Amino acid sequence: MHVSIVGSGYVGTTVAAAFADAGHRVTAIDIDPAVVEGLNAGESPIEEPGVGALIAEYGGEELIATTEFGRAAGSELTLVAVPTPTGPDGAIDASYVASAVESLDAVVDDEHVIAIKSTVVPDALRTEIAPLVDGPTLATNPEFLREGTALEDFRNPHKLVFGADESAERAYDLLAELYAPIRRATEAEPAVIRTGRDAAMLIKYANNAFLASKISLINDIGNIAKQHGIDAYEIADAIGTDPRISDQFLRSGVGYGGSCFPKDIKSIINSATEQGYEPLMLEATTELNDRQPERLLELFDQYVDPEGEQVAVLGLAFKPGTDDTRNSRAIPVIEGLDARGADVVGYDPVATLDGHDIEHADTAAEALAGAHGALVVTDWDEFAALDEEFDRMAEPVVVDGRRIVERREGITYEGLTW
Ligand code: NAD
């Protein structure tokens, strides 16, 4: 099959690489000429395990990148995977999707199916996107992959969600054909959900709302456990044996970040509120998440007055396995340290954080040497192996937001919820 994919970011590049590897011909369309040039030279614009090797193999061959939307005309189906950020009030900014859809609508024929993979609230889809499509079929195909394990997730989906209203059978058939090689290659057969265009998107929001709320709930319980001097992970291990709860997403700590959970929860809250419903649970989920970094800083305050001192922040990426720092919990932690007058030295194995008042160290050892305390924000495996590096700290206080460093002699160790 020949498929076009608009947007070559974390989602678009992973999906393009996986489909090329699955035997499809892929046209990747992006407005950024540097991204396009890189892809055609076999260089991935994103850091994701396994993706770089596939782009090196297929880039410029089975996967051809371009800035020209007209090239989508040669394919039957186009997936749109461009950003859907939120404004300060949480309202979704659907303008990237609108612009991509408008450009596509001008070049593809009426047989073409445009499937939105970007996460868009149903009302924006109805009022801002659907009116731009005149002829082709507009469908939705939300994505559930996680950064850090994007390729593996995409190749082993729990579910495939196909949303369409007009010409639904044709849209479902094309999407089914697109995913057929993925389904054949995966061990566990995914659920295939054929539903309406808006319902497919609401499935995506409900999925993220559940997972984000599960994190905030275990953080709430974790904060209570800490009040009693009880290890929240012991509690989580016990309740996780109940299949109704499951042991997934039960690691309490400094909260969720990234480009999806924070913005998706905010946009669905905003969308519901605009239409007269206040989603109390989701508001609490967001508020609790926003407070966790401040709790980490308050723990730190009990041991260190960081004014004028060097403080280490370990981990800048929003989670291990990615270089993505969007909405990383490191950001409020660094802002809090800045407000306290600290000189922040950050270290991350792959990520850098631009636009913030920090110095980047090349190694964890360098960040820790001479530091008056360290705050751990991302659970990169290498932080678990740190040992003698702590001996070089001026004040060996480690406040861990991810339970990755082990409590040990010679350092003052505080876990956020344990
Ligand atoms: P990203 O920011 O990593 O990449 C977006 C790409 O789109 C960039 O390369 C940019 O140059 C390009 N672009 C922007 N406007 C364009 C336009 N008009 N035409 C063509 N290209 C354009 O974004 P992402 O993280 O891949 O997210 C894309 C969408 O997928 C978002 O709606 C997001 O919510 C959703 N999503 C993301 C994830 C994730 O883990 N990142 C998971 C599931 C769903």
> What gap in Å lies between CA 94 and CA 84, rounded to an integer?
6
Q: What value does the mean pLDDT take over residues 39-44?
A: 98
Give the distance (Å) from ligand 1 centre to CA of residue 10: 7
Give percent above pLDDT 70 in the chain: 100
Query: Does the pLDDT of residue 384 top 90, yes or no?
Result: yes
Give the distance (Å) from ligand 1 centre to CA of residue 246: 31
Query: Does the pLDDT of residue 203 top 90, yes or no?
Result: yes
Give the distance (Å) from ligand 1 centre to CA of residue 171: 22
228 pLDDT tier (thresholds 50, 70, 90): very high
Q: What value does the mean pLDDT take over residues 321-331?
A: 93
> From the alpha carbon of 82, which atom of ligand 1 is closest?
7
Query: Does the pLDDT of residue 35 top 90, yes or no?
Result: yes
Among protein residues, the one with the nearest Cα to ligand 1's atom 27 is: 83
50 pLDDT tier (thresholds 50, 70, 90): very high
Give the distance (Å) from ligand 1 centre to CA of residue 80: 8
pLDDT, tens digit, 9 for 90 and up, residues 68-123: 999 999 999 999 999 999 998 899 999 999 999 999 999 999 999 999 999 999 99
Among protein residues, the one with the nearest Cα to ligand 1's atom 4 is: 9
187 pLDDT tier (thresholds 50, 70, 90): confident
Which residues belong to the active site? Answer: 260
pLDDT score recorded for residue 88: 86
Stated pTM of the model: 0.94
Q: Is 127 exposed, middle or buried (0-12, 13-18, 19+ CB in 10 A)?
A: exposed
Give percent above pLDDT 90 in the chain: 97
> From the alpha carbon of 8, which atom of ligand 1 is closest?
9
263 pLDDT tier (thresholds 50, 70, 90): very high
Among protein residues, the one with the nearest Cα to ligand 1's atom 44 is: 143
pLDDT score recorded for residue 256: 98
> From the alpha carbon of 145, which atom of ligand 1 is closest?
42
259 pLDDT tier (thresholds 50, 70, 90): confident
Give the distance (Å) from ligand 1 centre to CA of residue 101: 14
Q: What value does the mean pLDDT take over residues 177-185?
A: 97
> From the alpha carbon of 146, which atom of ligand 1 is closest?
40
Query: Does the pLDDT of residue 370 top 90, yes or no?
Result: yes
391 pLDDT tier (thresholds 50, 70, 90): very high
pLDDT score recorded for residue 170: 96
> From the alpha carbon of 45, which atom of ligand 1 is closest?
9
Q: Are 200 and 162 in contact (CB under 8 A)?
A: yes
In testing the pocket of ligand 1, which one of 5, 6, 11 has its CB within 8 Å of the most ligand atoms? 11
pLDDT, tens digit, 9 for 90 and up, residues 115-162: 999 999 999 999 999 999 999 999 999 999 999 899 999 999 999 999
In testing the pocket of ligand 1, which one of 29, 43, 82 has its CB within 8 Å of the most ligand atoms? 82
Q: What value does the mean pLDDT take over residues 213-231?
A: 98
User: Which residue did the predictor score with more confidence, 187 or 31?
Assistant: 31
Residues at CB less than 6 angstroms from ligand 1: 6-12, 29-32, 35, 81-84, 96, 99-100, 118-119, 143, 145-147, 259-260
Give the distance (Å) from ligand 1 centre to CA of residue 401: 28
Query: Does the pLDDT of residue 412 top 90, yes or no?
Result: yes
Least confident of 39-43, 57-61, 250-254, 320-324: 320-324
369 pLDDT tier (thresholds 50, 70, 90): very high
Among protein residues, the one with the nearest Cα to ligand 1's atom 35 is: 118
241 pLDDT tier (thresholds 50, 70, 90): very high
